[in-house]
Amino acid sequence: MEDELRQIEIAKTDPRQFAPLYKKYHEAIFRYIYKRVDEEESAYDITSCVFVKAISNLPKYEFRGVPFSSWLFRIAKSELYQSFRDNKAKRTVSIDSVSIAQIIDDLNEDYSEEQRLKLMQILPQLKEQQLQLIEMRFFEKRSFREIGEIIGMTENNAKVKTFRALVKLKELFNRTKA
């Protein structure tokens, strides 16, 4: 962490020194975006915008006890939503079986193919922020602190809103027939 903070401080005065940070985080940022747009070319374009914005705003970056990656993911989220607004695109929900099993377990249900299909059917019914909270917590395995930093809320608020999103998901899950 100290090496990274030192690298950030150096890059603040010389943008060419941002390269190691770019190499470290490019793949993760690209995957985050690609999972949501499901189109490789768009994902590369948005990822480029994220890093251009990161370099230009690097002098404003302040360490607040959370990983530098959280700051980058916040920029990625912003660029992604701007892209959705510009293109009026519908976001993609990328889900794996392990994450689905964990959510179904949290809903106190038995995991089956029928339950998985039911969950896939209701996830898009959630509000954008609820879906994002569930994705970051269960699919990306982020801490509440990181989630709060990315979304722009306190850690406690991230916990509360994630819990409420799960309550809403459970409500929809129990109301929906597979």
Task: Please write the tens of the pLDDT for every residue from 50-108.
Answer: 999 999 999 988 888 888 998 999 899 888 888 877 765 445 455 554 455 556 555 55
The domain defined by 97-175 folds into Butyryl-CoA Dehydrogenase, subunit A; domain 3 (1.20.140)
Q: What pLDDT shows up at residue 89?
A: 46
Mean pLDDT of the chain: 81
Report the C-alpha gap between 143 and 10 in whole angstroms. 28
C-alpha distances in Å from residue 160, one per residue of 21, 124, 128, 140:
32, 21, 16, 18
What is the pTM for the complete model shown? 0.58
Does 97-175 match 2-87 at the fold level? no
Q: Spell out the domain ranges in the chain.
A: 2-87, 97-175
Class of domain 2-87: mainly alpha
- Which pLDDT band holds residue 160 (cuts at 50, 70, 90)? very high
Range among 82-96, 98-112, 120-134, 156-170 with highest mean pLDDT value: 156-170
Instruction: Give residue 153's Cα distance to chain centre.
Output: 14
Cβ pair 102, 116 in contact under 8 A: no
Report the C-alpha gap between 153 and 171 in whole angstroms. 25
Q: What pLDDT shows up at residue 167?
A: 86
